Amino acid sequence: MIESFNSFEVAQRQIQQAAEILDLNEATRDLLIWPQREFKFTIPVKMDNGIVRIFHGWRIQYNTARGPAKGGIRFYPDEHVDTIRALACWMTCKTALLNLPLGGGKGGIACNPREMSERELESLSRGYIRATAPYLGVDKDIPAPDMYTNPQIMAWMMDEFEMISQRHHPGMITDKPLQIGGTEGRRDATARGGVISVREACHALNLDPTGSYAIQGFGNAGQRAALLHQELLGGGKLVGVCDSRGGIYNPDGFDVKELVTYKLTKGAVSGFPGGKAIDRDAVLEMDVDVLYPSAMENAITSQNAPNIKGKVICELANGPTTPEADKILNTNGIHVIPDILASAGGVTVSYFEMVQDKYSYFWEEQEVHNQLDKKITKAYQTVTEAIREKKVHSRMAATVVSVARVAEACELRGWV
């Protein structure tokens, strides 16, 4: 039987379990399992054929006790409010775990950007800001790109916000083009943070970081993880890769640079020379040292978790593992680097971008990399300490650290 999951219910369960471990009072628990604010709106866009289409959009500010909300905007055909709630919750946990002075938020529009022209996308992007401008700003809520959005879309959104406010506000949105206030080091930040956490895990587990690895999902994060695994860990053999169209396998390893170029040119990994075609889901079950789930939510479930053989799982995707699967992986001795740590490099460097925008002084790329390394390494060590202290698996340890920090801020403010 195929399992069905509601991502927000999964996120709520994680928060509730952490709250129980921390013995939080009932009011604090109730506060933390629900978003503080939710905005639902419609965006009319005149399409190239002259017909006006109505798109549905959302912006959710999950918790702002530690600072303004921070989180991406997704353009996705099957967008749903509960998915955005879950992602906003996990973003709140990410910023707290990395000890950033930010809360968590998320937004999205139900649309298929692959079927839209550049002009239509610009109209939709500007319409999103017109609907949300009163609730955005460097001291309120700072968006960023997410699934199927990019720096150009962020540029349109920033411009629309500045036209409405009649002031320059480069820090109101992040992952912008460098020419208008973006930062060096942002393009590969999510993957870089994940690979840094793998480095720390390999050191802690006495595992050879130059062994085999596989990547499920070969978009921006997956491609950059493939390259950075080689660069930061001193080598490694990429033996399996998949994307939405299929998977490939080569026990001798792929030439990573050639594979990334092929994907960017052809739009898929299928057909890459030297690769044996396999089912895309088979990548998750490969016998490798490191597995990078880098695609969608709920990829690892109780059905396939017993077959997973990777020694370390680095979750570059948001919410790729269900709670039932977590238990199985933990029982089987698989070390999971949870998403709120593994994929936190993006929001961390977005925070660096905000700081640089505020002071109008920008760092060299190596400085961004160095500061990110410090943040991820410190967070990994904090989670390791929580594993020992609370005697829980890594995801719960990370969640406990995050929830404790957010709960403390709520209590200090007198909210509960």
Question: What's the rounded Cα separation, in Å, for the pair 2 and 36?
Answer: 33
Locate the domains of the chain by residue range. 35-170, 189-342
Chain segment 350-408, per-residue pLDDT in tens: 999 999 999 999 999 999 999 999 999 999 999 999 999 999 999 999 999 999 999 99
Q: Which residue has the tokens 């889901």?
A: 281
Superfamily of domain 35-170: Leucine Dehydrogenase, chain A, domain 1 (3.40.50.10860)
Task: Tell me the average pLDDT across 333-341.
Answer: 96
Chain segment 16-66, per-residue pLDDT in tens: 999 999 999 999 999 999 999 999 999 999 999 999 999 999 999 999 999
Q: Got the DSSP string for 49-105?
A: TS-EEEEEEEEEEEE-SSSSEEEEEEEETT--HHHHHHHHHHHHHHHHHTT-S--EE
Task: Please answer whether residues 359 and 138 qualify as being in contact, where contact means their C-beta atoms are separated by less than 8 angstroms.
Answer: no
Q: Indicate the SS3 state at residue 393.
A: coil
Task: Please answer whether residues 390 and 46 qualify as being in contact, where contact means their C-beta atoms are separated by less than 8 angstroms.
Answer: no
% of the chain surpassing 70 pLDDT: 99
The mean pLDDT value of the chain amounts to 95
Q: Which residue has the tokens 């700072």?
A: 142
Give the closest residue to 326 by CA, choosing from 298, 295, 345, 294.
298
Chain segment 287-309, per-residue pLDDT in tens: 999 999 998 878 899 999 999 99
Give the closest residue to 128 by CA, choosing from 102, 153, 146, 103.
153
Query: Maximum CA pair distance of the chain?
Result: 62
The residue from 94, 106, 237, 375 that is catalytic is 106
DSSP H/E element including 248: strand 246-249
For 192, 240, 274, the CA distances from 226, given in Å and listed in that order, are 10, 11, 17
CATH class held by domain 189-342: alpha beta
pLDDT at residue number 274: 86
Is 106 catalytic? The answer is: yes
For 98, 186, 193, 260, 277, the CA distances from 346, given in Å and listed in that order, are 11, 7, 8, 20, 32
For residue 261, give the amino acid letter.
Answer: T
